[in-house]
Amino acid sequence: MTQPRFLYTANPARVIFGAGTLAELPAEMTNLGVERAMIVSTPAQEVDAQRVARLLGSRAVGVHPEAVMHTPVDVSDAACLRAQTLGADVVVAIGGGSTTGLSKAIALRTGLPQIALPTTYAGSEMTPILGETSGGEKRTQVNPAVLPEVVIYDVDLTMGLPAGMAGTSGINAIAHAVEALYAQNSNPVISLLALDAIAALARALPAIEANPQDRSARHDALYGAWLCGICLGSVGMALHHKLCHTLGGSFDLPHAQTHAIILPHALAYNAPEIPEVMEKLRGVLGDDPARALYDLGRAVHAPASLAELGMPREGIARARDLALANPYWNPRALEPEALSVLIERAHSGEPPAPM
């Protein structure tokens, strides 16, 4: 039997994982040889950013709580100007994907190093991927210049994440691992990480929903999210991510919730062309992986439909056309009629079905 050929490239990053690890931030700044940190967050997490500033004392030159969804270009430009005005020599990002996105955009424009302090399960901190929004469209690029130099995972920083947000953020992370299993450039290392990540999150998220203070479940979820982030940053993605970026950028839909809704349907769409992947997923999710992911969303009270997020029904055709506009690899060819069915079912909140 011919053995498969594969390529594996590891992204460089220093990762500190545990509980109470935020305390190591000053030492990590010293290791990087930096002294003037601008701390970025969303407006809702400014309290967390101020806490980091107090930890750093005089080494914190400013807090910039202006990160928003989908990383608008004008917001990034304003943040760069603030960093230059403050004379910052490092960006410290505390938050989820929106905050990490802003930090990456600053790094791309200024060359500043980054230290990421994740508080959700987005996984963006482990990737060289940046998506920015302008003119109602989200454009994504892969550039090693946006990969954070240091990531500090502190389970304590996730304990305040509401169970509902934990659920949607966690399913968003699972999407990275699912698509990594059938990526065009998949490899054995990433596939092993992906399956371990899916299993960890699938058991952790319902436990967090049942008891938000379950530290063991929070640990498992953050561990799974870390692995999912590695998957996202190491191999290409396909229909699921393309469609979510299209929907998020074009209709201003929340990132994690959109991923949680689309994932079961995208997997059902691709299932006929990935029988070996589906068999692996049965080992961690059960007999019907697509339905299991849909049921996981219901178990953690994630939104079931794009309509709930505010997407108008008349946007279905536009979303389909945008997804078809720029050709990209997917294990199953993009078929306009089947793609319309996928989006329609996701819009109405129906369970996934063979297409």
Q: Which of 333, 302, 316, 166 is nearest to 246 (CA)?
A: 316
| Mean pLDDT value across residues 192-217 | 98
CATH topology of domain 14-158: Rossmann fold (3.40.50)
| Mean pLDDT value across residues 4-32 | 94
Instruction: Say whether pLDDT at 204 is over 90.
Output: yes
CA 114 to chain centre: 17
Under the banding of pLDDT at 50, 70 and 90, the label for residue 202 is: very high
| Mean pLDDT value across residues 131-141 | 85
| Mean pLDDT value across residues 205-222 | 98
Q: What's the longest Cα–Cα distance across the chain?
A: 63
| Mean pLDDT value across residues 121-128 | 93
Q: Where are the alpha helices (DSSP H) in 4-110?
A: 25-32, 46-56, 73-86, 97-110
Percent of the chain with pLDDT over 70: 99
pLDDT 10s digits, 257-307: 999 999 999 999 999 999 999 999 999 999 999 999 999 999 999 999 999
Q: What is the pLDDT of residue 3?
A: 64
**C-alpha pair distances (Å), 295 with each of 87, 123, 288, 349, 355:** 49, 22, 10, 12, 19
Q: What is the pLDDT of residue 40?
A: 98
| Mean pLDDT value across residues 98-117 | 97
**C-alpha pair distances (Å), 348 with each of 75, 239, 278, 299, 310:** 33, 19, 25, 18, 12
Q: What is the pLDDT of residue 2?
A: 63
- Domain 14-158 and domain 163-348 have a common topology: no
Domain boundaries, the chain: 14-158, 163-348
Query: Which CATH number describes the domain made up of 163-348?
Result: 1.20.1090.10
pTM, two decimals, is 0.92
pLDDT 10s digits, 151-182: 999 999 999 999 999 999 999 999 999 999 99
Judge contact between 326 and 303, C-beta under 8 A: no
